Copies of this chain bind each other. A is one copy, B any other.
Amino acid sequence: MGIEDLRASIHRGDFKGPTAGLAPGLIQANLIILPKQYAYDFLLFCVRNPKTCPILEVLNDGSYLTKLLAHKSDLRFSLPKYRVYQKDGSFSEHSDIKDFWRDDFVSFLLGCSFTFEDALMKSGIGMRHLEERHNIPMYTTNIKARSAGIFKAQTVVTMRPIPSSLVPKTYSITAKYPLMHGAPIHVGSPLKIGIASLDSPDFGSPSSIKDGELPVFWACGVSALNACLNAKLDFFITHSPGHMFISELVEGSLNEF
């Protein structure tokens, strides 16, 4: 399926799967949509945690059309799966959010590590969640993000098993993607960052780890979801973890000048 067919399929609500491995090389992004009353604190939370919540685009109040990451992509339809959260932390999943839209919403798009997976694979570093055809495993750690107003969170990480001999190469490749969480924040010891079992991710599905491989962890934008849950917002919308916004840009093309 070509990229335009994929976009159309997502927009129609036909494609509802995770987006890792799709649209190689294009920037993928987390989406958080909040009522304006929470927007300052949330923007500051992202600014104070640039590796965990790297800001790619913030839309004007009430707008659902992207400007930077894609030309007028309609965020009410352009992700494969959304979660709509209520104040008690319960959520429902939807393939579009047209019926929920409000004029006081502010939409935030944050960098996603799926963006650098193509570069890793082109360097001979396999992605287990793609080989095993499941959503990437994500874990809530004991690493505290910096707080901002009502928002506080333990950092969420993605995990990719990497042969130990390829860890340095993995580090240097992903470090070149600072807006996509950049280099890993931990290698090797899940317990040290508060992960009791790699078999039970908080989001996504577990990846098998083979002999000679180490679990490698990257900061993940789903940390923002946890921050919103902790803040007990009246209402917010996010992508379903792993089901990202696919931009029209390649990394490095987001320059101001």
Contact = CB atoms under 8 A, between A and B. Distances in A.
B146 A256 contact: yes
A130 interface: no
A232 B7 CA distance: 43
Contacts of A50: 256
Contact of A48 (B51, B58, B219): B58
A257 B146 CA distance: 10
A40 B38 CA distance: 10
Q: How many copies does the complex hold?
A: 2
Interface string A39-56: 110011001111110010
Contacts of A44: 43, 58
Interface in A12-54: 39-40, 43-44, 47-52
Contacts of A121: none
Indicate the size class of the contact surface on chain A.
Answer: 10 to 19
A9 to B, nearest CB: 31
A185 interface: yes
A70 interface: no
A3 interface: no
A14 to B, nearest CB: 34
A250 interface: no
A143 interface: yes
Interface of A: 39-40, 43-44, 47-52, 55, 58, 143, 146, 185, 219, 255-257
